[in-house]
Structure 1
Amino acid sequence: MVTSYPVPEGFTEIEVFGIGTILLAEALLGFLLNGLTILSFYKVRELRTPSNLLIISLAVADIGLCMNAFIAAFSSFLRYWPYGSEGCQIHGFQGFVAALSSISSCAAIAWDRYHQYCTRSKLHWSTAISVIMFLWGFSAFWSVMPLFGWGEYDYEPLRTCCTLDYSKADRNFISFLFPLAFFEYLIPLFIMMTAYQSIHQKMKKSGQFKFNAGLPVKSLAICWGPYSLLCFYAIIQDATILSPKLRMMPAVLAKISPAVNAYIYGLGNEGYRGGIWQFLTGQKVERTETDNKSN
């Protein structure tokens, strides 16, 4: 006989099922698109460049986010978290590593594209590998800190997934949040803004607008901005006074970022799109200069 668990406080049964369905759809779409990005890189020789290795770093991080969303969706359908407190800590850590690495990879791609368009210098394999090792290591450092007591992982309002606990907003949370936000959100956002602004000015002078230079920055702000605002709101005001449904919205919105990133950096990249087409159909596109064509 299947045990029936109560609906999480502040939600109806339809809302819990609806959130689980959205999370599942986001996870499936992101997994499909980023998996296609990775397989194309592996199968198509022309795509194997240092610049595209940064895109693979982003795709791997985003697949990690999709796995996190899969688990959250499954738990939502169960209406409870089945993996205990230790599972909650692991889920929070895994999600944070993936999220921070995804944001940092976006910044690394922007930095690389600035050099491609503005300084005409190409990325070397050694530099690309070093950048990826640093950003993943730095993301792991911040993600592991709550496991050692600086910050804390706990349940989301739906209580079917886990993330950084902002409900207490004590000195421990504040001392962790400010450097985390500075190094892992504000600095990447600044790098992206300045890099793409410089690229836009360069394209404006040449009259050749090869892509929308504002789209990557907008997507990062839209997907992760609400979550950041919620964490900072918790510092000045008790966030638990907000309805549980409202507090779940930033987390659900952030989970769409893997699909958005795959579209912007993979499918939206002219050279990479040609490689994906070649992988899917076997038809080689005339021009696949992935170092010079980017989104």
Structure 2
Amino acid sequence: MERIAHQPFGPRYEPLSNGSVTDKVLPEMAHLVDSYWSQFPAMDPMWNKILAIYLVVIGILAWIGNGTVLYIFATTKSLRTPANLLVINLALSDFGMMVLNTPIMATNLYFETWIWGPFICDVYAGLGSAFGCSSIWSMCMVALDRYNVIVKGMSGQPMTIKLAIFKIMFIWGMGSIWTLAPLFGWSRYVPEGNLTSCGIDYMSHNPNPMSYLIMYTIFVYITPLSLICYSYWFIIAAVSAHERAMREQAKKMNVKSLRSSDDADKSAEGKLAKVALVTISLWFMAWTPYTVINCIGLFGYEGLTPLNTVWGACFAKSATVYNPIVYATSHPKYRIALKEKCPCCVFGNVDDGKSGSAEGQSQASETETKA
């Protein structure tokens, strides 16, 4: 914490001259920049412009998309179910990451170096870690909730407001632990790659930062990924077994279908599982490159360049765009509410919930919003 108390606040641009990507590094940031990066020439300014445009575009999309999700859930009573608190938490963490971090990184890309000093480096990296951790654990909790509903069924513990709040507290507790640890001496936050973003120190081979990075990877990437894969493996197995049994029974009775409203709900649960799997797959497609970069830095530097590290950071931020798109295209009840409040945001037909089994559709809509 001592480094935070004596740091200037705000942007300062004071170039040095060492003939590399570190040419414009601020004097007070020099001790945080790993010597490995000094061997690389400065990036072509074109790449900084491309990255800045990309970041601004996904930032605007994330602000609008997640802001809309928060607004719709806040103003639509039927969507405010206990399980949907996890969805709101996910949208909130995605929204917060892009609102707070996008302007900082975009400014750095314009100046082609980190201009905000060590204090904002800590703030930027800490917020990115907290929001990223919250997002992945929110998705993990959604997967576990779906496992509880679909696989365990009546024997599972129902989601309540208290349970949902407890899970959200756990999510942010995990984020806080891994965010604050570097500020108290377990690893540290440093400029990355082309020095326009800050993150965990993955270049040092000292036991302190290495142990933090290993534990961080286990608890913020591997563990939730394993739980998500476990949950959806059994969800898909349960839905497949149910569908197979229904088809076999229909053949024996010489009828086309045995579906009742409850069975329609089960089918909706299967569709929900597919939607959630797509969402989570997109999330991991965005974050895996950044995790791989961290692991490469941990076990050896070969292959790391300023360009691929900054692209890893940008891809990670793109995860914040995916969830609102999935909601808008795959959740009937959300689409109904969105069309009522913002008709121009919805394309195609929207099920008004009056056709077919009203009870089944209502339940299907509610369960879909949980993902």
Normalising by structure 2, what TM-score? 0.73
Q: What's the CA shift for 1:267? A: 4.5
1:134 aligned onto 2:209: no
Match of 2:339 in 1: 277
With over 3 angstroms needed to count, the CA separation of the structure-2 counterparts of 1:117 and 1:279, relative to structure 1, is farther
SS in 2 for 1:255: helix
User: Are the counterparts in 1 of residues 329 and 335 from structure 2 also a CA contact under 8 Å?
Assistant: yes
User: Are the counterparts in 2 of residues 64 and 95 from structure 1 also a CA contact under 8 Å?
Assistant: no
1:109 aligned onto 2:155: no
Normalising by structure 1, what TM-score? 0.90
Q: Which ranges in structure 2 are unaligned for 5 or more consecutive residues?
A: 1-12, 22-40, 244-266, 345-349, 354-360
Of residues 174-183 and 76-85 in structure 1, the stretch that sits farther from structure 2 once superposed is: 76-85
1:163 aligned onto 2:229: no
Q: Mapping of 1:107-256 within 5 angstroms?
A: 107-120=140-153, 121=156, 122-207=158-243, 208=267, 209-211=270-272, 212=274, 214-238=277-301, 242-256=304-318
Match of 1:49 in 2: 81
Distance 2:202 2:72 in 1: 39
Higher RCO (C-alpha 8 Å, min separation 6): 1
Match of 2:251 in 1: none
User: Are the counterparts in 2 of residues 26 and 69 from structure 1 also a CA contact under 8 Å?
Assistant: no
SS in 1 for 2:199: strand
Match of 2:72 in 1: 40
Q: Compare CA radii of gyration and give the structure with the larger one.
A: 2
With over 3 angstroms needed to count, the CA separation of the structure-2 counterparts of 1:206 and 1:273, relative to structure 1, is farther
User: Are the counterparts in 2 of residues 278 and 285 from structure 1 also a CA contact under 8 Å?
Assistant: no
| One-letter identity of the residue aligned with 2:352 | V
Match of 2:4 in 1: none
Match of 1:86 in 2: 119
Distance 1:270 1:33 in 2: 17
Q: What's the CA shift for 1:285? A: 3.5
CA offsets per residue over residues 184-234 of structure 1, 9 Å max, x none? 111111111111111111222233341425323422331111111111122
Q: What's the CA shift for 1:134? A: 1.1
CA RMSD of aligned residues (A): 2.4
Distance 1:217 1:57 in 2: 15
| One-letter identity of the residue aligned with 2:289 | P
* From 101, 105, 117, the counterpart of 1:72: 105
With over 3 angstroms needed to count, the CA separation of the structure-2 counterparts of 1:253 and 1:133, relative to structure 1, is same
With over 3 angstroms needed to count, the CA separation of the structure-2 counterparts of 1:275 and 1:116, relative to structure 1, is farther
Distance 2:362 2:15 in 1: 54
Q: What's the CA shift for 1:266? A: 5.9
* From 287, 292, 295, the counterpart of 2:367: 292
Q: Which ranges in structure 1 are unaligned for 5 or more consecutive residues?
A: none
| One-letter identity of the residue aligned with 1:71 | I
Percent identity, aligned pairs only, is: 25
With over 3 angstroms needed to count, the CA separation of the structure-2 counterparts of 1:274 and 1:192, relative to structure 1, is farther
Distance 2:351 2:283 in 1: 32
